[in-house]
A and B are shown apart, each in its own frame.
Chain A
């Protein structure tokens, strides 16, 4: 098992004929993802890489049984695209687009909750279950199939951590970028609860950063509801207040939003926090070793 997607997940790409959409759809297919439909209202009726292109998500769902969407449309059209996908019955939407207006996200989140749908992103590299499927734009060759779940607010930092894991021969069950915007669809706790239920995942790596309180929420969730070990890294130590550190969401506006406060809260909950990004891989290796030892004693 893996969370959110596997080799049978039927994916529709909204904006399949755009530059980014076309490029990454091809890569997703190469990786083994079942891309069954595309949506591009102006190219309705065409085929792209042998995939039928529809005028609406509704048609893609009806005709091809798509359940999972990947969105490549510009920021002005994201709100409409996500509404359309969820209204058509899509249960998981990955939104690659960066810089979606916050007020659009506020409304989209209410809608998604009403319809029991997940939004991943915006501003996410996507989600990958190594060896099975990927939906998004992430570098895939660094991944290896395995038992560590990775959830992160940052794309490049995910690559960094995944490559350290793979170099140490530690594979991943699923890796998810939840996005670097202030308001994102799935929060850390949503992903953690899926990992906790997933039989294949033995340990989870959480990559957080300054700004907001999702890491604090994760700490409370870990304490109350998680049995699996969690290893965390928080980026942005020493970032100044009220300065946006690249991501729109990485901005410290309250005292509990800086890295030091987040690290303290995570550690108080019993989570292993790694201070140096260079040591995340090795820390995970030690934790996995301890886990095996413990289970062999039992």
Chain B
């Protein structure tokens, strides 16, 4: 789960990591107060769950009250489009106002989950503000890292190694080691998959400042962290994705016009691939899951059907634990609202019972016998 920068910074501060003094602003009458406390210039940062804010105009510097008001009006409640966002952008429902820091140097530091080493990895970069992947591509010598053994935790010598790599002033050795240890504490205690400061700045008083903060939490561990679960911001997600999750369904909005429904994540991905192979583009990915109930199936189909981009629905079910007759009943329940054509492949446990249920439905339903036939049908579609 992604959380906002201001939320991540609150966590950082609780672990003694210094962040610029700031205010979260959600209404225009907060501006005066924020300005009087912070003093100009003020950095205005749109709080959205997507990168590329700077280039997209989501980060501004206001030198006067006038400029602060303009920045507020131009960002607040609007949709911000960045290089990394969907075409419609992300809604800005909160702004972070921060005291401007005079900085002398920008660095990169992060603890990531390294899936290859199956361990956390501490990464340091000599340059801040750019994506670590970009940095690796441009100049791998700018990056150094240390794999952390979870049994023993981050050792101070590992942080020191990176400190010497960064060629910082010797007076910063202890603060740097402490910073790394604190980040590792956050990574473990909050069960993160990413804990990143980019840029990590050194200000004109020689102190480390977390100018930005990014934390990604492990969704599967949230049951142990009710306080962190509350940080979820539904405004940053596609509304259908949020709705689907409520019914225990995995739904992802995509760019095309063929609705894709399958049981199981792998089969749903393969179904999406099949649509692309036919020369069409999937409008979404819906995995009703292994233990889907009749209700879940009905709701899932309703969500897919209600997407205005969807011109046709392609259903690919391989019944295992989910029985074909259960699926067919859910489909029959949903058929009252289905107006768009449906191509369906139904196979597996109780398939004959399932077919009987589908037989008399008065909707535009094409049943295919296998995936090859499905591919041909998809190819011949005129959409």
Contact = CB atoms under 8 A, between A and B. Distances in A.
Best-surrounded residue of B118, B265, B375 (most CB of chain A within 10 A)? B265
A139 B264 contact: no
Contacts of B149: 110
Contacts of B113: 102, 182-183
A156 B150 contact: no
Interface residues of A, number: 62
B17 interface: no
Given A106-B150, A157-B264, A246-B265, A138 B270 contact: no
Interface in B94-148: 113, 115-116, 118-120, 133
Nearest to B371: A278
B219 interface: yes
A277 B273 contact: yes
Contact of A155 (B264, B269, B370, B375): B264
A236 interface: yes
A112 to B, nearest CB: 11
A107 interface: yes
A275 interface: yes
A243 B282 CA distance: 15
A109 interface: yes
Interface string A160-176: 10010000000000000
Contacts of B265: 154, 156, 180, 209, 245-247, 250
Interface in B250-282: 250, 252, 254, 262-270, 272-274, 276-277, 281-282
The SS class assigned to the B binding surface is mixed
Contacts of B150: 103, 106-107, 110
Interface string B311-322: 000000010110
A191 B315 CA distance: 32
Contact of B250 (A139, A213, A235, A246): A246
The SS class assigned to the A binding surface is loop
B115 A156 contact: no
A17 to B, nearest CB: 19
A104 B218 CA distance: 11
A10 to B, nearest CB: 26
A235 B260 CA distance: 14
Interface string A76-95: 10000000000000000000
Interface residues of B, number: 53
B223 A278 contact: no
A202 B277 CA distance: 30
B266 A247 contact: yes
B113 to A, nearest CB: 6
B285 interface: yes
B332 to A, nearest CB: 22
Nearest to B115: A212
B266 A213 contact: no
Contact of B374 (A105, A159, A160, A278): A278
Contact of A160 (B120, B270, B282): B270
Contacts of A259: 273
A32 interface: no
B26 interface: no
A47 interface: no
Contacts of B224: 76, 101
A276 B375 contact: yes
Interface in B295-337: 318, 320-321
A182 B115 contact: yes
A246 B375 contact: no
Nearest to B255: A240
Contacts of B264: 154-157, 246
B267 A238 contact: no
A75 interface: yes
B293 interface: no
B269 A246 contact: yes
Best-surrounded residue of A233, A241, A278 (most CB of chain B within 10 A)? A278
18 contacts: A75-B223, A110-B149, A139-B321, A154-B269, A155-B266, A156-B320, A160-B371, A163-B348, A183-B115, A207-B266, A237-B273, A238-B272, A245-B265, A248-B219, A275-B277, A277-B270, A278-B274, A278-B371
Interface of A: 75-76, 99-107, 109-110, 125, 137-139, 142, 152-160, 163, 180-183, 207, 209-210, 212-213, 217, 233, 235-241, 243-250, 254-255, 259, 275-279
Given A101-B191, A277-B273, A277-B371, 15 more contacts: A101-B224, A102-B113, A102-B220, A103-B188, A105-B118, A110-B149, A139-B348, A157-B267, A160-B267, A235-B266, A236-B269, A239-B272, A240-B254, A245-B285, A248-B220
